[in-house]
Structure formats: structure tokens, C-alpha cells
Amino acid sequence: MLALFFTTTGYRLVGLLHIAAAIVAFGPLFIYPSMQRAGASAALAKLHLRLVLPALTLSWVLGMGLVGMSKPEGSDEAVFKMSQTWIVLALIVWVVLMVVSWFLIRPALTDTGAAARSRMASGIGVTHLLLIVMLYLMIWKPGLG
């Protein structure tokens, strides 16, 4: 069951913004290797610091807003609670994404050496894998009960 179907308009709007922020956060990562090969390292670093990291942070803020707003119409009890397995796992994955993005991808953006390219490629690979894990958690909500 998709969470956006049984809720209010405000919840749907925040959900849409959450999805849009995730697209903005993960979309540019697909073109990083080709931009780096083209010699656009400075533009790449600027894009990462001014667009990708803020969008990743915004997706967390909006996700927490969705958790807080998750009440069916006419009910005072939240549908999603912070102790649910899928939410805890999503928070852990988000923290790992931020760590990989800040400590592995960001330093490799302006460096043109082979070691930096390797670090960036591994960081982007881990990020894509974690994106799939995050999508699984958001769609199927394991442990929801």
C-alpha cells in the first residue's frame, strides 16, 4: 500500500516534495564520471555542494515531516512511528549516504588523479546501491506490521 493514497492534501504535497528532493539528490550522481572525464571538476564540486548535499538534507527533513504527519483522516494516532523497522533502517541508510557523500565523493571531485577517480567511482556505486535499498524501504516498508 502506498502511503500517499490514504492521507490529506498536505501530506501528499510534502510527499511529492520529498520525492522531488530525492530525485535532485541522486540524479546528478549519474553524470559525475562523464563530467569529471570532460574536465569539469570545479563545476562538479560546485554542483555537489550547492545542489546534491542540500537536496539530500531536504529529503531527510521532508521524510521526517512525513513520519510526523502520518495520521489517517479522523484519527489522532500516527500510522508511522519512529520505532518502526523501516524508518530506523532508512535513517541509518541516510546517515551512511551523507558520510559517503561528504567523505568519499566530495574530496574526489576536484582531484584528477587515478586514486580520486577510484574513490569517486566506489562512492557513487555505494550511493546507487543505497538508493535501491532506500527505495525498497520506502515502497515495501518492512516491519510495518
Structure confidence by residue, pLDDT tens digits, 96-139: 999 999 999 999 988 878 898 899 999 999 999 999 999 999 99
User: Residue 38: its pLDDT value, please?
Assistant: 87
Residue 70 · residue 10 · CB < 8 Å: no
| Residue 1: pLDDT over 50 | no
**Residue-level pLDDT at 40:** 87
Domain membership of residue 94 (yes or no) is: yes
Q: Assess if residue 133 is contained within a domain.
A: yes
Does any domain span residue 111? yes
Residue 3 has pLDDT above 90, yes or no: no
Average pLDDT over residues 80-90: 88
Residues 62-74 have pLDDT tens digits of 999 998 888 765 6
pTM confidence score:
0.87
Supply the pLDDT for residue 35.
Answer: 87
Structural domain of residue 81, as residue ranges? 3-140
> CA-to-CA distance for 62 and 99, rounded, in angstroms?
19
Q: Tell me what pLDDT residue 145 has.
A: 67
Asked if the structure places residue 75 within a domain, the reply is yes
Let me know if residue 59 belongs to a domain: yes
In a domain, 145, yes or no: no
Tell me the pLDDT tens digit for each residue of 14-55. 999 999 999 999 999 999 888 888 888 888 889 999 999 999
Residue 79 has a pLDDT of: 73
87, 80 contact by CB (below 8 A): yes
Indicate the average pLDDT of the chain: 88
Phi, psi for 73 (deg, rounded to 5): -60, 135
pLDDT of residue 29: 92
Residue 96 CA: distances (Å) to CA of 3, 25, 33, 55: 25, 14, 21, 15
Give how many domains the chain has, as a whole number. Answer: 1
Nearest residue to 49 via CA among 28, 18, 20, 23: 28
Q: How far are the Cα atoms of 24, 93, 108 from residue 134, in angstroms, in the given order?
A: 15, 7, 24
Q: Give the integer Cα–Cα distance in Å for 136 and 113.
A: 35
